[in-house]
Structure 1
Amino acid sequence: MTVGPRSVGYRLTEEALVFGGRTVTATDIAVAAGRAEVGDADAVADLDPTLVKAALARVAADIADAVERMRTSPDPLPVVAVGGGSILLPDDLPGSLAVHRPENFAVANAIGAAIAQVGGEVDRVYAIDPGRRDAVVDEARQEAVDRAIAAGADPAAVRIVDFDEVPIPYLPGNATRIRCKAVGDLRLGVA
C-alpha cells in the first residue's frame, strides 16, 4: 500500500471518486471511513474496507515516522493536526503519540494563507560591467519589490528578506547570478 507522494491537487473536485472522478484519493478514503462528509458518499460505498483500513494505517504510520525523525530527545512530541488532511489521522498515532486537534482545526491552513505575506522574486544572471555592480544590485532589488507590489503587497511594508549573489566564472562578461526576494503584508481594500 502506498499513499502519495503524487496528488491530484487542485483537480480534486474533478478526479476524486466522491466528485465523479476515477482516481482514489485520500479524500475518498476519509469519506469511505466516515471521517469526512464531502461529495457523494455513495460513490465510495463499494470501496473495499480492507483497502480503506490499510490506507488509513499507512497514513498514520507515515506521519508517526515523520514525527519520530523530528524528535531531538526521547520525550514524545505533541502532534497537533490541522488542515484538511488532519481528518486522515487517528486520535493516537503508532508509538503512543496522542493527536491534538485545536478548535477549527480543519480550516487552520486557511488562516495561515490569509495571514501570509505576499512576495516577489528575481532570479537571473546579469552581465555586470566594471563599476556597475551597485546599480545592477539596486535594479534586482527594485524588480523584486515591484513584483511583490504587483502581486498585492502593500508598498509601504515591502522589504527584502533574501539576497544572494554568486559570480559565475565560466561565463564571459563578469556574469553573476542574483537572486532576490521581497515580501510585504497583503494590501487590503484595493481592487
Structure 2
Amino acid sequence: MVDTNQVLDMIVRGNLSKLIVAIVVILIGFLIGRFLGNLTKKVLKELNTNKILKENLGINLPIEQFLSGLVYYLILFVAVVMALNQLGLSTIILYIILVIVLVIVVGLVVLAFKDFIPNVFASFWIHQKNILKEGDKIEIKDVKGVVEEITLTEVKIKTKDNEVVLIPNSLLFKEKIKKSLSLGKKDSAKKD
C-alpha cells in the first residue's frame, strides 16, 4: 500500500523546486532585461537617435526611452513565460498573458502617437491646400510673426522679438488664423 505522506512529500518537494526555479528564472530575466534595456538606451543616446529623428524628420518622440523599455519588458515577458512553463501551466494561460501584453503594447503605442498623428494629417492638409508657406506673416492665438518653417508636426513662427514659437499643426484646424497677404491686405480664415 502507498503511504499518503510519502506521496504528499513528493508532490510538495517537486512543486517547491519548480517554484524556486521559476522565481530564479524571473529574477534572472529581470536582471538581464534591466541590463539590456539600459544598454539599449545608452547605445541609442550615443547615436543621438532622438536628435536625429527630430532634426531630419521633425519627429519629437522619446524613441530611446521607448525602445529601451520595449527591450526590458520583452525580456521580462520571456522570463515569465519560461517560469510559467517551468511550473507546468497550460499554454492557454500563456496565450491569455500574450493577449494582455499585446493589448497593453497597442494601447501604449496609441498613446505615444495620439498627438503625432493629428499633427501629421494637419501637415499634409497645410501642404495640400497651400494654407501657409514659409515667409507668410500670420497671427494665431496670441502669436504674431513670420512662418520660418513648416515641419511634419509643427509650424515655426519667428516673432518681432526674434523668438521662435512652435505651433502644433493640429492647432491650425482649431484656431482662427490671420494671414497677411503680400499686397498688404488682411485675410482672415477660419478652418473647419
TM-score range, shorter chain: under 0.3
Q: Which protein shows a greater Rg?
A: 2
Whichever structure has more helix as a proportion of its residues is 2
> What is the TM-score of this pair, normalised by structure 1?
0.22
> What is the TM-score of this pair, normalised by structure 2?
0.22
